[in-house]
Amino acid sequence: MATRLIRLIGLLGLAALASPCALAADPGFAAQADALAELSWNDPKQASQGLMDMRDAVERDGDLRDRAHWNFAYGSAQEGLGNVSVAERSYRESISLAEQAKDTKQLLEAAYGLVHLLNIAERFPEVAEVASKYLLIARQAGDLENASALQQQLGRMFAALGDEENALNQLKEALQVAEQSRSAEMRSFAEYNLGLASSEAGQYELARDLLEQSLAYDREHQVPVQNLIVDLVRLGEATGGAGDLVEAQKRLEEAIALAKPSGFVYEEALAMTALSRLMLDAGKYADAVTASEHALSLLADDPRGSTRADALAAHGRALVATRDYPAAAADFKAAMQVYETKGKLDQVASVRSGLADAEAAMGNLEAALASSRRALSETKRATDLSRQRSRDALRIAYAVEREAAENEQLKAEIAAQTTKLNEEVRRARWQNIALSSLAVLLAVTLLVYFWQRRMRRELLSLATTDALTNVANRRAVLEYGAQQLRECVQRNLPLSVVALDIDNFKTINDRFGHEAGDSVLREVTQLLGAGIRKGDMIGRLGGEEFLIILPGYDAEGAASIADRLREALAKTDMSHIAPELRTTSSFGVASLVDCNDDFSELLRHADRRLYRAKDVGRNKVVYLPKFDRTQVFVRKAT
């Protein structure tokens, strides 16, 4: 499954469709879930429906392994449908169940699914932590395919951060591991990813060789047409970069010829945009304008998409070459608006530099100078941000590896010291010699212990705190909740949890940009923290979803607190983040009476009520009161 998933990195296409007959071939839950996971890459809606049809049977009759496979498949389907937060929860649940079932293969595949999702969401610190942790497990288990897959994810993370050196180092090592695995498919994926990174780093000859090998594999194994189109586009770009413009044009025209009859609009637009850039390099300015205009016409229904922004930038540069400077400036400005919304600061700087050229050519020297200065400033900011994020990712990855190495070293040292002590005790003829040896061993062990403890404290801060909001991360809040549940059960005290989700958060990101979205998350956590007691805990589960642990509160008390928080959030003016920005949140409340001393069950009840709050109109609190256990109550917005 790792080989299937990794194909998505750098590709627009999907993996091959599994035969529906696989469902009948093996009646086991795990086999059925695996077949539906395959189906999810081409038809996630059908796969999701099939998984929901079997969910009750899996929960009732399935074992830990069956449930692990089901959650992984459901995460795959939800990812295909764009439900990122649901997909993330399912992948994490699959990891937890696979760990309990000691199913290492499924554990690594679920970990890969999670890392892939985090990489797409550009949550790079979490990518570094999760990928590094499970890469070590894959190596220890001798699972070379998953080891290569996870290391390729690390490579693509560094490539996205603009850290070419670390990206190439990771991807070259991943290719070596793939070759050792003797999996031709995994080697092809590793060649593709390394070729892509090499092209981005300007190593076009190497990139062309690797991408040609990957394309040959795909042709031989008849992968979906979308994959071939993207393969040809990336190969055409690398070939053009290597200076062979004629061969590059052939590759791009072949991609266009495949896309047109198949109706793959985005892939055709991608190829047309690449062809426009190639024609510009070849001095064929009119052809460059025509190609980019065609790309823009294909993407007319997606004015805010990144692919259209790329086409606008290419069209603008072609218009500059043909001296249509006003039209070029308009294209550059439109492209910048999209890139700014997507948070692509490096692309903004590049396009603004083109705008400065157009303004200078029109005689608007003052505007051109202002644009050039701003482009330089944006370039510096983008570079500084990428370097900082890359350093943070490296620090986390190294911390994970260092902890694992130190644990192994500590085990070895303790074993060695124990052996030495036993030998000395056996040889000792006097009691004082034996006692002295014991004292020496104790001193050494204590020194090692305190040194290890200090190192663990450094890592603990990274491992338990969400870097963006500075509240507890998912692992920390879930561990605290499980601990509080045990204590409240033992002491016969009430306990409630509140799951909340910021309404329409994707719209905030799309409309105001990811920086505004991050500011909203920080503002919300500050308001939530001010509204709870010192002994309560708030944690971020992922994305825009949070969890509050409330020891000592029953359902009614927790619902009152949730309603107070809901009202405070709804009334908060966030125009200091972006003009006219306001937001609301939906809440789901669950208490001890909803579960049998099982925190995961308690969390599921809260999660279901959260989504019930979404279904009944958002900005609501949904709970099950103590005085009436027959129906769910909804606190409505006033």
352-371 per-position pLDDT tens digit: 999 999 899 999 999 889 98
Whether residue 454 sits in one domain with residue 484: no
- Residue 64 domain-assigned? yes
The tally of domains found in the chain comes to 3
- Residue 183 domain-assigned? yes
- Structure tokens given for 596: 């049998």
Nearest to 289 by CA among 272, 271, 268: 272
Whether 402 has a pLDDT exceeding 80, the answer reads no
Least confident of 245-249, 438-442, 605-609: 438-442
Nearest to 478 by CA among 491, 466, 494: 466
Largest interatomic CA distance in the chain:
98
Last residue of a domain, one of 464, 498, 515: 464
Ordered alpha helix ranges (H), 102-203 = 104-120, 124-141, 144-160, 164-181, 184-200
Dist CA 337 CA 317 (whole Å): 17
Dist CA 196 CA 215 (whole Å): 12
pLDDT at residue number 392: 80
Q: Are 309 and 316 within 8 A, CB to CB?
A: no
Q: Are 36 and 70 within 8 A, CB to CB?
A: no
Dist CA 190 CA 286 (whole Å): 38
Radius of gyration of the chain (CA): 28
Q: Are 620 and 638 within 8 A, CB to CB?
A: no
Nearest to 495 by CA among 573, 575, 553, 411: 553
Task: Say whether 528 sits in a helix, a strand or coil.
Answer: helix
Give the CA dihedral 542, 543, 545, 551, nearest 10 degrees. Answer: 30
Domain residue limits at 425: 386-464
Give residue 53's pLDDT band: very low, low, confident or very high (50, 70, 90): very high
- Residue 505 domain-assigned? yes
- Residue 222 domain-assigned? no
Q: 551 pairs with which residues across the strands?
A: 495
pLDDT at residue number 460: 59
Whether residue 561 sits in one domain with residue 447: no
Whether 25 has a pLDDT exceeding 90, the answer reads no
Whether residue 487 sits in one domain with residue 429: no
Whether 238 has a pLDDT exceeding 60, the answer reads yes
Whether residue 622 sits in one domain with residue 483: yes
Dist CA 198 CA 195 (whole Å): 5
CATH at 537 = 3.30.70.270
pLDDT at residue number 425: 63
Provide the whole-model pTM.
Answer: 0.64
- Residue 326 domain-assigned? no
263-310 per-position pLDDT tens digit: 889 899 999 999 999 999 999 999 999 999 999 999 988 877 888 999
- Please, what is the angle between helix 431-464 and helix 474-490, to 10°? 110
Whether residue 441 sits in one domain with residue 512: no
Q: Are 570 and 619 within 8 A, CB to CB?
A: yes
Whether residue 453 sits in one domain with residue 488: no
Mean pLDDT value of segment 24-28 = 50
- Structure tokens given for 230: 């993207």
Whether residue 561 sits in one domain with residue 425: no
Last residue of a domain, one of 411, 441, 464: 464
- Residue 47 domain-assigned? yes
- Residue 469 domain-assigned? no
Whether residue 545 sits in one domain with residue 400: no
Last residue of a domain, one of 434, 464, 494: 464
Mean pLDDT value of segment 618-631 = 74
- Structure tokens given for 352: 């603004």
- Residue 480 domain-assigned? yes
